[in-house]
Chains A and B, each alone.
Chain A
Amino acid sequence: MAFFKLQPAAEPDILGPMADDPSTVGSKPGDEREARAEREPRSEVPEPRPGVPAVEVHDLTVAYHTQPVLWDVDVDLPEGKLIAIVGPNGAGKSTLLKTVLGLVRPLTGRIRVFGEPYERRRSWVGYVPQRESVDWDFPTNALDVVLMGLYGRVGWFRRPSRHHRETALACLDKLGILDLAGRQISQLSGGQQQRVFLARALAQDARLYLMDEPFAGVDATTERAILTLLKELRSSGKTVVAVHHDLQTVAEYFDHVVLLNMRLVAAGPIATTFVEENLQRTYGGRLTVLTQATEALLGRGAAAEPEAGG
């Protein structure tokens, strides 16, 4: 017998379309679904209503084993802006991106991309992973890597056509590295590798780009090139959400910022959000609020490996 009698739903549906799967907590990672569902052309999925944010994060909590990484994060990312995600190491910035992409399963919470679950908006989202996430000694060249962004369009059992190759080459050209198309990727500099990753995401022709530290470890020329690209994307109405490591350049490069330290500290336009007080709360203090919470929660100190004791 229910302790609380549920009242009839009298209030308007302000939350938008409901979750597909009310029986589970949180969104399912996409790679458990069949490939068929992901390949549906964009035209079949309804356009979002105007004003719908590019990304909506509701009550997101992500934990790795028993360690929380993101805690009750609730934020909306508007469309058509350059948004930086900023915070100290281990703050969950990459995890946030990966959760949006369905690569990580949250403990609780829901994510919507342009109003729909990620699986239905997959073709609208381009991903630029961290450069270190890949072994660059892999036997392949730059063009090949960019072509990977088109595999969704090439489809199963088919080889990329000339048209696909031309698209890929155009993307390389956009990033200024057309002459490196046939170059083995281990022979590329860090900045060139980053451009290859960006070209790959560009090939997806997405509406929303999620980038994990795109400016990390690149030379000045590449940094400028990336920034130019981002601004172009913005002027064509695309949205870019980038984990950014360099506090000095946040205000200059981005329109909005999300300050994250496991919890959401603040989010909003640069002018009002990227201020001293918020930065203090994000970066200051050795023991974060959440660590205290975690310890209280688990009733003991965290210990995942054999201690240096005994």
Chain B
Amino acid sequence: MELSFTARNVMLGAALLGVAGGAMGSFTLLRRQSLLGDALSHAALPGICFAFLLTGSKAPLPLFAGALIAGLLGALTMLATVRWSRVKEDSAMGIVLSVFFGLGIVLLTYIQKLPTGNQSGLDKFLFGQAATLVEEDVQVMALLSVGVLALLALFYKELKILAFDREYGASLGLPMRSLEILLTLLLVVVVVVGLQTVGVVLLVATLITPAAAARQWTDRLGVMILLSAAIGAGSGVLGALVSATVPRLPTGPVIVLFASFVLVVSLFLAPRRGYLWALARERRVERRIRRENLLKDLYRVGEGGESWDRFVSLPQLMGLRGQSSARLLRSARPLLQDGLMQRQGDTVRLTDKGRREAAGVVRKHRLWELYLTRRLELPSDHVHRDAEAMEHALTDEAVTELDALLGHPELDPHGRPIPPVVAGAAGEEATA
């Protein structure tokens, strides 16, 4: 019975923190204020100690209030320092962070020496100990989290402008300064909510890590916020449970490691932004380029020779671009499989299908060369390199436009014929 009650509190507390932290963290991340959360969480420590000294109790409400006030003071100090002196933002954060925290440690050790002060209850705020959450704590956390989420939702679109284009928002007459204060206030509240669960040092990770992970999966702010909240809640609940069941494992670090794991996975696997996807995309493009180059090479050889049906030797093809035989064979294989090429021993040649597709690529190349020489007036010996790159990038629509623009030309700058559009070639070119 005891365990499940504690577990319930732990889960609730961590979930609340995860949701509020994730949502709030999205704004913090986008406004490039990630480390502000770090500074504020450190700054909250003296507030907690003061509250204890003043009230003599470790009830959540006064401690939270103390943390809140200290956090706000810290934010104000940072703002004032940056505004009124030449000290830069990062230094201001570092100063508030370390000095306030130092004050907190002073108070903590002072309390420790007091006859009444059994501060072992207070230093759980350093690393977090979700297992010590009591019902009262969770209730306060719930109240605060709901408040934060409600305000974020209420002012969503104005906060969006604040994060994206503050100046424009000000020009519209929106009270950007007040909104900024509101956002900072909400940040401090979230910090306070999380202190008991993850502790002072790691709080920044409950804000930033889920938000950074969520950012990789979506390009829409609303979705990002929801996802970030979900990731935060998930890692929070998991981490808190693990920490509550395994001995000698403070909560904060476990939650952070779960969230960091999700982040790393997201960085790799997320579609479009993910590293693996980007790699795959690059490979695909490289493969297509190699394929088109090979087709082009064969076309040119065939064009220069007496007949299209002659087989070209592999060493000859290798020599054209200085490719190794291994590389060449790798490029050749898909062409053979797709029926664009025929092989006979050590030689290859284009099939009709292959010739049509090759013609398409050559057409792009030569049209582009003509465009460069005619429209941009580049000398004809300067255009080949550029066309080598552009031929892979031009879309069919672009080519049609180019053709029209240049007046349906027949010859390229070097006097070679520009292959006309062949019916059916467009469909085949779509494969890539």
Name A residues whose Cβ lies closer than 8 Å to a Cβ of B.
29-35, 37-39, 98, 101-103, 119, 122-123, 125, 127, 129, 133-135, 138-141, 144-145, 148-149, 151-152, 154, 156-157, 159-160, 184, 186, 200, 204, 304-305
Q: Determine if B173 and A38 form an interchain contact, defined as CB atoms under 8 angstroms apart.
A: yes
- Encode B149-187 as 1/0 by CB contact (under 8 A) with A: 000001101101101110111111111110000000000
Report the Cα distance A31→B170, complex, angstroms: 6
- Encode B309-351 as 1/0 by CB contact (under 8 A) with A: 0000000000000000000000000000000000000000000
Q: Determine if A133 and B167 form an interchain contact, defined as CB atoms under 8 angstroms apart.
A: yes
Taking chain B's interface residues, is the majority helix, strand, or loop, or is none over half, making it mixed?
Answer: helix
In the assembled complex, the CB of A205 is this many whole angstroms from the nearest CB of chain B, namely 13
Report the Cα distance A39→B158, complex, angstroms: 14
Q: Determine if B174 and A102 form an interchain contact, defined as CB atoms under 8 angstroms apart.
A: no
Which of B214-222, B248-256, B418-426 touches A?
B214-222
* 11 contacting pairs across A/B (C-beta < 8 A): A30-B170, A30-B173, A31-B174, A31-B176, A122-B171, A122-B172, A151-B161, A151-B172, A152-B174, A184-B219, A304-B86
Q: Which of A122, A140, A149 contacts B173 (CB 8 A)?
A: A122
Report the Cα distance A133→B177, complex, angstroms: 18
- Which A residues are CB-close (under 8 A) to B161? 148, 151
Whether B17 is near chain A, meaning CB under 8 Å from some CB there, is no
Answer whether A31 and B221 are a contact pair too, CB < 8 Å, given A127-B168, A148-B161.
no
In the assembled complex, the CB of A100 is this many whole angstroms from the nearest CB of chain B, namely 10
Whether B82 is near chain A, meaning CB under 8 Å from some CB there, is no
Q: Which of A33, A34, A129 contacts B167 (CB 8 A)?
A: A129
Answer whether A140 and B154 are a contact pair too, CB < 8 Å, given A101-B171, A127-B168, A133-B167.
no
Report the Cα distance A30→B168, complex, angstroms: 12
Whether B394 is near chain A, meaning CB under 8 Å from some CB there, is no
- Which A residues are CB-close (under 8 A) to B220? 139-141
Q: Determine if A157 and B167 form an interchain contact, defined as CB atoms under 8 angstroms apart.
A: no
Q: Determine if B165 and A140 form an interchain contact, defined as CB atoms under 8 angstroms apart.
A: no
Q: Which of B154, B170, B215, B224 contacts A102 (CB 8 A)?
A: B170
Q: Which residue of B lies closest to A134 (CB)?
A: B165
Which residues of B (254-269) have their CB < 8 Å from a CB of A?
A: none
- Which B residues are CB-close (under 8 A) to A200? 168
In the assembled complex, the CB of B80 is this many whole angstroms from the nearest CB of chain A, namely 16
Whether B73 is near chain A, meaning CB under 8 Å from some CB there, is no
Q: Determine if A151 and B167 form an interchain contact, defined as CB atoms under 8 angstroms apart.
A: no
Q: Which residue of B lies closest to A157 (CB)?
A: B154
Whether B402 is near chain A, meaning CB under 8 Å from some CB there, is no
Report the Cα distance A254→B110, complex, angstroms: 71
* Beyond A30-B173, A148-B157, A156-B158, 7 additional pairs, beta carbon < 8 A: A32-B177, A38-B174, A127-B171, A138-B163, A138-B221, A139-B220, A144-B160
Q: Determine if B176 and A148 form an interchain contact, defined as CB atoms under 8 angstroms apart.
A: no
- Which A residues are CB-close (under 8 A) to B201? none
- Which A residues are CB-close (under 8 A) to B86? 304-305
Q: Determine if B218 and A133 form an interchain contact, defined as CB atoms under 8 angstroms apart.
A: no
- Which B residues are CB-close (under 8 A) to A156? 155, 158
How many residues of chain B are within 8 Å of chain A by beta carbon? 29
- Which A residues are CB-close (under 8 A) to B32? 135
In the assembled complex, the CB of A189 is this many whole angstroms from the nearest CB of chain B, namely 14
Q: Determine if B174 and A103 form an interchain contact, defined as CB atoms under 8 angstroms apart.
A: no
In the assembled complex, the CB of A146 is this many whole angstroms from the nearest CB of chain B, namely 12
Q: Which residue of B lies closest to A119 (CB)?
A: B173
Report the Cα distance A304→B86, complex, angstroms: 9
Report the Cα distance A39→B219, complex, angstroms: 31
Answer whether A152 and B172 are a contact pair too, CB < 8 Å, given A98-B167, A133-B165.
yes
Whether B226 is near chain A, meaning CB under 8 Å from some CB there, is no
Q: Determine if A35 and B175 form an interchain contact, defined as CB atoms under 8 angstroms apart.
A: yes
Whether B30 is near chain A, meaning CB under 8 Å from some CB there, is yes
- Which B residues are CB-close (under 8 A) to A119? 173
- Which B residues are CB-close (under 8 A) to A144? 160, 221
- Which A residues are CB-close (under 8 A) to B170? 29-31, 101-103
- Which A residues are CB-close (under 8 A) to B221? 138-140, 144
Q: Which of B154, B158, B172, B219 contacts A141 (CB 8 A)?
A: B219
Most B CB contacts (10 A, CB to CB) among A135, A149, A304 go to: A135
In the assembled complex, the CB of A104 is this many whole angstroms from the nearest CB of chain B, namely 10
- Which A residues are CB-close (under 8 A) to B177? 31-32
In the assembled complex, the CB of A188 is this many whole angstroms from the nearest CB of chain B, namely 12
In the assembled complex, the CB of B19 is this many whole angstroms from the nearest CB of chain A, namely 19
In the assembled complex, the CB of B147 is this many whole angstroms from the nearest CB of chain A, namely 16
Q: Which residue of B lies closest to A159 (CB)?
A: B157
In the assembled complex, the CB of A161 is this many whole angstroms from the nearest CB of chain B, namely 13
Report the Cα distance A37→B172, complex, angstroms: 12
Report the Cα distance A101→B165, complex, angstroms: 15
Q: Which residue of B lies closest to A186 (CB)?
A: B219
Q: Which of A39, A133, A138, A145 contacts B30 (CB 8 A)?
A: A138
Most A CB contacts (10 A, CB to CB) among B161, B167, B170, B172 go to: B172
Q: Determine if B171 and A125 form an interchain contact, defined as CB atoms under 8 angstroms apart.
A: yes
Report the Cα distance A94→B320, complex, angstroms: 55
- Which A residues are CB-close (under 8 A) to B165? 129, 133-134, 148
- Which B residues are CB-close (under 8 A) to A32? 175, 177
Which residues of B (192-226) have their CB < 8 Å from a CB of A?
A: 215, 218-221, 224
Q: Which residue of A lies closest to B163 (CB)?
A: A138
Q: Determine if A151 and B164 form an interchain contact, defined as CB atoms under 8 angstroms apart.
A: no
Q: Determine if A139 and B224 form an interchain contact, defined as CB atoms under 8 angstroms apart.
A: yes
Report the Cα distance A156→B159, complex, angstroms: 11
Q: Which residue of B lies closest to A98 (CB)?
A: B167
In the assembled complex, the CB of B106 is this many whole angstroms from the nearest CB of chain A, namely 32
> What are the 7 closest A-B residue pairs judged by CB atoms, nearest first?
A38-B173, A184-B219, A127-B171, A31-B170, A122-B173, A101-B171, A139-B221
- Which B residues are CB-close (under 8 A) to A102? 170-171
In the assembled complex, the CB of A118 is this many whole angstroms from the nearest CB of chain B, namely 9
- Which A residues are CB-close (under 8 A) to B174? 31, 35, 38, 151-152
- Which B residues are CB-close (under 8 A) to A157? 154
Report the Cα distance A154→B168, complex, angstroms: 16
- Which B residues are CB-close (under 8 A) to A29? 170
Q: Which of A122, A134, A186, A305 contacts B164 (CB 8 A)?
A: A134
- Which B residues are CB-close (under 8 A) to A184? 219
Report the Cα distance A149→B164, complex, angstroms: 13
